[in-house]
Amino acid sequence: MKVSKRAKTIKENLKQVKEYSLEEAVKALKENSSVKFTESVDCAIRLGVDPKHADQMVRGTVSLPHGTGKKVRVLVITKTGKEQEALDAGADYAGFEEYLEKIKEGWTDVDVIVASPEAMGELGKLGRILGPRGLMPNPKTGTVTPDVAKAVKEVKAGKIDFRVDKTGIVHASLGKISFENEQLVENITEFFKKIMKLRPSSAKGTYVKSLFLSSTMGPGLQIDKDEVLASIK
């Protein structure tokens, strides 16, 4: 396979076999970003858990101090007459029957769905459409709540949800390459703190096996997880 000039340059500039500190990795990714769009900065953490066991499922939410830098499209499904309240809080769409019908017809042009509890009876019937897309509201992530306005504000401000995949890896987008170095470091650190708090009591041995940072079109850089662990204790 032909290697592009950009890939060759990145390989020459980076020592991909070494472990970086968070600060070094963020700086290296920013210095080697040469594409014509603003890349996201992504984090991948391999955990020592077996997601096949329910008591080892790592799932949660975290509010990033500096947000994700992405425009998040939010739909609120509610029967309580709080549609205008949701829209005033920043929701892009709000309603009930009309949006249930649109979803049944295949419309899923949103990033997050927030629902009030009494709406879940009908919305839950659309699990085959919403589930595979990660759009089904869940009380554990704060997207099923009577306070839909608060949930919308949190999502718009940078609250993200995450879950470990079947291979034991948690993936998350934690900002944009255009952020200040310190902002990215703070977002990543906050995410890592949350992952540590969610360690299942049934997980034995090493909990965090590896930690990588990458940009959308950049390489994956391995982070010194022990240094990050030491910094948050």
Q: Return the domain boundaries, the chain.
A: 17-68+160-232, 74-157
Instruction: Identify the three-state secondary structure at position 196.
Output: helix
So what's the architecture of 17-68+160-232 in CATH? 2-Layer Sandwich (3.30)
Q: How far apart are CA 76 and CA 94, in angstroms?
A: 5
Q: How far apart are CA 24 and CA 44, in angstroms?
A: 17
Give the mean model confidence (pLDDT) for residues 37-58: 93
pLDDT by residue (tens digit) across 217-227?
Answer: 888 899 999 89
Give the mean model confidence (pLDDT) for residues 192-199: 94
- What is the total residue count of the chain? 233
Bigger pLDDT: 147 or 6?
A: 147
pLDDT by residue (tens digit) across 56-99?
Answer: 999 899 999 999 998 999 999 999 889 999 999 999 999 999 99
User: Which CATH number is 74-157's, of 3.40.50.790, 3.40.140.10, 3.40.50.300, 3.10.129.10?
Assistant: 3.40.50.790
Give the mean model confidence (pLDDT) for residues 120-128: 94
Q: Judge whether 17-68+160-232 and 74-157 match in fold.
A: no
pTM (predicted TM-score): 0.80
Rg of the chain over Cα atoms, rounded to whole angstroms, equals 20
